Amino acid sequence: VSATTDAIPFDLVDLEPDERAVVEKAREISVDVLAKNAPRYDIEAVFPAENFDAMRAEGFTGVVVPKQYGGLGLGPQAYSLFLKSLAKGCASTAGSFHMHNSVMRFLDVLGTHEQKEHYYAEAVSGKLFGSWGAEPGTSWAGTIALNTGYDIVPEGFKVNGAKYFCSLGEGASYGLLYAVATEKRQQANLEDVQFFMANTDNPGVEIKDQWDPIGMRATVSKPVILTDCVVPQIAQIGEPGGIRRIPSEFYGLGYSSFYQGIAEAAYEWALNHAQTRTVQPSNEPIGKFDRIQRKIGAMAVSVHQGALAVEHAARRVAHEDVDRGGSLLAVMKAKAITTVTALEVTNLAIDVAGGPGVIRGNPPERLLRDARAATLMVPAFDQCMETVAKNELGYATRELH
């Protein structure tokens, strides 16, 4: 038996030392801060300020900001492990934080040097960025026709419209707006989609206080109303149709890692419960029962499956220059697999817990509620399956957006 490097967890061995340090710190914060606060923030359905303060203190708001702009510059494999670690502690915090990090990636592709200097400095200083794409009358599932319009005005641009599900809520300092020229509203052409960065304290921005969902409650994904919201020239991010230049893999990889995190949290809770709970007249833990063992076995296999899919997808994304199509497919498969894993494992955790598993405040019921949106979060389960099928059948596939 050869000597092993005990100090490095196996899943981190391929990371550079600086990336490993960031992931290890995320694991620490996830346990010490996020997991402890999760029940309270879930019940209150408020912005998890303490969690973000703890992450800010470690420079995490710049976690995917390139190093040349003062960020931590995490690559796809490290980011995947990073986000999964946070999701294990508090899914809401990780889910809404992924929005911020996705906006950072959008800027990397579409932003000018001046915009990067400005907005990345804001992020590194601790400001959070929301992504305001979804609208009540628009679906991203098929043909996308936006209803938020902009006009060119002397000061820059004037935006009017209504967004919903704007994660981070009032915790965000900026929102990346998706809009089209006013005369092109309700038409469907991605070539018209234009991004703007709006400050949330802009008088034309109103974050409505409406949010009471079954899960992901601390994402505070509230509606945002834009009324004559004037943004300056520097707030125009990219050109109309720039959305097509954004690789969608990062987004989907993040959500795969995120749902894998929820599944792992449920599994680890159930494992500990099975090892420690006794029922009379036996003094032995319930883990000794075959019936519990079958559930633990099913959970372990499902979690393993998800982990392999995410790890593979992260590796493909890290090397997407080699085979872009392959990396998109790997992400679609990982998102589909982790959706099934998260739903299956959180359900089984309730069975291992018994009745108390459905009582509010117990981790299994929160994890089950947080996992439920997995099927609809972009890339939605149906979208993943359609993309995989089209590829198998030899038909053309399309990007996430």
Question: Which residues in this chain contact ligand FAD in the complex, by CB under 6 A?
Answer: 99, 130-134, 139-143, 165-167, 216, 219, 221, 373, 376, 378, 382
Complex with ligand FAD: residue 34 or 286, whichever CB lies closer = 34
> Residue 132 or residue 174: which is nearer to ligand FAD going by CB?
132
Q: How far is the CB of 373 from ligand FAD (least distance, A)?
A: 4
Q: How many CB atoms lie within 10 A of CB 362?
A: 18
292 CB-near residues (< 8 Å, 6+ apart): 274, 286, 352
Determine what percent of the chain falls in helix, strand and coil, rounding each to the nearest 5: 55, 15, 30
Residue 328, burial from CB neighbour count under 10 angstroms (0-12, 13-18, 19+): buried
Residue 213 CB, shortest distance to ligand FAD, in Å, is 6
Report phi then psi at 190, rounded to 5: -60, -20
- 């075959």: which residue's tokens? 290
Indicate the residue among 184 and 217 with the shorter CB distance to ligand FAD. Answer: 217
Kindly state the smallest distance separating residue 114's Cβ from ligand FAD, in Å. Answer: 26
| Minimum CB–partner distance for residue 139 and ligand FAD (Å) | 3
Which residue number, 112 or 143, has a Cβ lying nearer to ligand FAD?
Answer: 143
Tell the smallest beta-carbon distance from residue 67 to ligand FAD (Å). 26
Q: Min. distance of Cβ 178 from ligand FAD in angstroms?
A: 7
| Residue placing its CB nearer to ligand FAD in the complex, 124 or 172 | 172
Q: How far is the CB of 123 from ligand FAD (least distance, A)?
A: 16
Which CB sits closer to ligand FAD, 69 or 178?
178
Nearest CA-CA partner of 243 in 195, 184, 198: 195
Closest-by-Cβ residue to ligand FAD is 142
Q: Angle formed by the axes of helices 290-318 and 324-353, to 10°?
A: 160
3-state secondary structure of 356: helix
Cβ(135)–Cβ(164) below 8 Å: yes
Q: Which of 87, 307 has the CB closer to ligand FAD?
A: 87
Cα separation values, 107 from 6, 116, 244, 326, Å = 39, 7, 13, 24
